[in-house]
């Protein structure tokens, strides 16, 4: 199967609030073949020798966990504040429509671990930049970011560049 990801991603206007265009990935998940090919493409884009894959709540979990398995790496869930049961490190950042606090267990990443961040969408870049901050605070080396789609019209790479993130692999880009 040669996947046309763009055809499988639905646009949902005014969600979660008026003026925001939500990209719905559930059609990809509904097709085992499309889901598998998406994971395979993310794995193929990943650098060698990854120790840890971080996926952010909630849709980053969906793609990050199978990518970690395929790479033989550990998976670290990056959660919203208050969702992890042990000692955590947290960071707060701006979203397109508010603020959010992300947390990771304080022992989730070892000093020098080579880390790949995987998410479904790169919008403004805030979630990825916040996750990169957590990775670095725990001593990890952020190697790359793999995303299913990028909303380039929001210029997320400008924010990522300011945070020292320059290796980003995108499967589908949206210019507007």
Q: Which residues are catalytic?
A: 59, 96
Cα–Cα dist 133/148, whole Å: 21
**CA 82 → CA 6, 87, 114, 123, 148, distances in Å?**
34, 10, 26, 24, 27
Cα–Cα dist 25/160, whole Å: 23
Cβ neighbors of 86 (< 8 A, separation 6 or more) are 105, 106, 107
Strands in the chain per DSSP E: 10-13, 21-24, 52-56, 74-80, 88-95, 98-105, 114-122, 141-151, 168-174
CB atoms within 10 A of CB 51: 19
């Amino acid at each position: 199967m040669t996947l046309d990801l763009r055809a499988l991603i639905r646009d949902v206007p005014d969600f979660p609030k008026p003026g925001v265009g939500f990209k719905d990935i559930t059609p990809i998940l509904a097709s085992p073949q499309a889901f598998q090919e998406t994971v395979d493409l993310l794995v193929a884009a990943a650098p060698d020798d990854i120790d840890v894959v971080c996926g952010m709540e909630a849709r980053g979990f969906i793609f990050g966990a199978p990518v970690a398995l395929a790479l033989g790496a550990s998976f670290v869930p990056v959660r919203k504040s208050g969702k992890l049961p042990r000692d955590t490190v947290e960071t707060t950042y701006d979203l397109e429509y508010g603020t959010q606090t992300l947390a990771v267990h304080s022992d989730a990443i070892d000093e020098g671990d080579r880390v790949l961040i995987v998410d479904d969408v790169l919008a403004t870049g805030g979630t990825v930049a916040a996750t990169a901050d957590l990775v670095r605070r725990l001593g990890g080396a952020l190697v790359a970011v793999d995303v299913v789609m990028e909303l380039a019209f929001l210029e997320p790479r400008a924010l990522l560049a300011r945070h020292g993130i320059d290796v980003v692999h995108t499967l589908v880009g949206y210019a507007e």
